[in-house]
Homo-oligomer: A and B are copies of this chain.
Amino acid sequence: MKEHTTISLGHGSGGLMTRELLDDIIFKAFSNPYLDKKHDGSVVQFDGPIAISTDSFVISPIFFKGGNIGELAIHGTVNDVAMCGAMPKYLSLAFVVEEGLDIQEFKTIINSIKTTAEVCGVQIITGDTKVVERGKGDKIFINTTGFGAVHPKAKISADRIMTGDKIIVNGNIAQHGMAIMSQREGLEFESTIESDSTNLNFITQKLLDQFGDQIHLYRDATRGGIASVLTEIALDINKGVAIHEKHLPLDRQVAAACEILGLDPLYVANEGVFVAIVDEPIADDVLEMLRNDEKGTNACCIGEFTEEYPTKVVMHSGIGGKRIVSPLIGEQLPRIC
């Protein structure tokens, strides 16, 4: 690989250059008994139900405050599996690289993936690398698909939500979207706004250990933010949602950035925020457990499910007003994940 400083079409040929790229960078980074077989796929075994989730990551820029596309591709899919009440164990990893990508940047991304996968406790067991001509992609797109064993106590399903159920978020919202937007717009704040990209698999399993089927639903609030998650659920289960503005956990600088750019933080993407919808009687205990965990220090109960306004999300403002939170129409922040 010494002679190459950028990715070329030959790296996607399936021939010697592909093999060198795999051997020198990818297999070396992720070596494990599954990948080392270098077959078209890998064979794994699970006892019991398996949660599966897939996501493609097309974020721009690929390096941003608080992370990069590689880290995000692991967190994103690990979290989607976790939202099914499962502990992610294996991931597939597929790249679509634009000709001309700097090989050092590619290596940095691979190293991030390696480190992040280790922290999350997942193994990369199979993969794919394609290269497209300059101008037919944008540096790098990554797909990850994750597999995990469902927690034995988990009964995660929107149809288990009852009137009175509490809506808890684990931390400050709108960080990820505003980190990307600030960077794109060249905005400077007292301190840098960083993406909240992180893994939620351990905390979500811990809650299931303790509270089992009293946790009715997990959803991570990525593209479209908290508003999109809640408006979708309200519509799907034909119940109303009341949320309380004063309980929304929101960093002061993120709030300021949203003001400047005219964005509503409810719609801004997160990468480390999830919504837990839980039986009303356990809400305080869930909050306490979250606040004692590093992934939930700013956890808040932001609202509840109601019989009023079925299919609608209603925001109660600090001064006693009410407004309907509409579903996001069109695009707010393209390529945020």
Given the known interface contacts A48-B45, A132-B335, A228-B14, the answer about A236 and B143 at a Cβ–Cβ threshold of 8 Å is no
Give this chain's copy count: 2
Q: Is the CB of A145 within 8 A of B331?
A: no
Cβ-neighbour of A54 out of B12, B127, B156, B223 (below 8 A)? B127
Binds B, one of A80-88, A166-174, A178-186: A80-88
The reply to whether the CB of A125 lies closer than 8 angstroms to some CB of chain B is yes
Please name all residues of chain B whose beta carbon is closer than 8 Å to the beta carbon of A328 when the two chains form the complex.
Answer: 13-16
The reply to whether the CB of A253 lies closer than 8 angstroms to some CB of chain B is no
The reply to whether the CB of A30 lies closer than 8 angstroms to some CB of chain B is no
CA distance A84 to B128 in the complex (A): 16
Binds B, one of A92-100, A187-195, A241-249: A92-100
Please name all residues of chain B whose beta carbon is closer than 8 Å to the beta carbon of A90 when the two chains form the complex.
Answer: 52
CA distance A145 to B55 in the complex (A): 11
Q: Is the CB of B223 within 8 A of A331?
A: no
Nearest chain B residue, comparing its CB with the CB of A56? B94
Q: Is the CB of A329 within 8 A of B17?
A: yes
The reply to whether the CB of A43 lies closer than 8 angstroms to some CB of chain B is yes
Q: Is the CB of B331 within 8 A of A10?
A: yes
The reply to whether the CB of A118 lies closer than 8 angstroms to some CB of chain B is no
Binds B, one of A32-40, A285-293, A299-307: A32-40
What is the interface of chain A, defined by CB distance below 8 A to chain B?
8-10, 12-19, 37-46, 48-58, 60, 80-81, 83-84, 86, 90, 92-96, 125-128, 130-133, 135-138, 141, 143, 145-147, 150, 156-158, 219-220, 222-224, 228, 232, 236, 267, 269, 327-332, 334-335, 337
- A to B CB contacts below 8 Å, 12 in the list: A15-B223, A15-B328, A19-B232, A19-B327, A43-B51, A43-B52, A45-B48, A52-B92, A57-B130, A94-B143, A133-B335, A141-B141
List 5 extra interface pairs beyond A43-B51, A53-B92, A54-B145, CB under 8 A: A14-B224, A17-B331, A40-B220, A45-B49, A135-B135
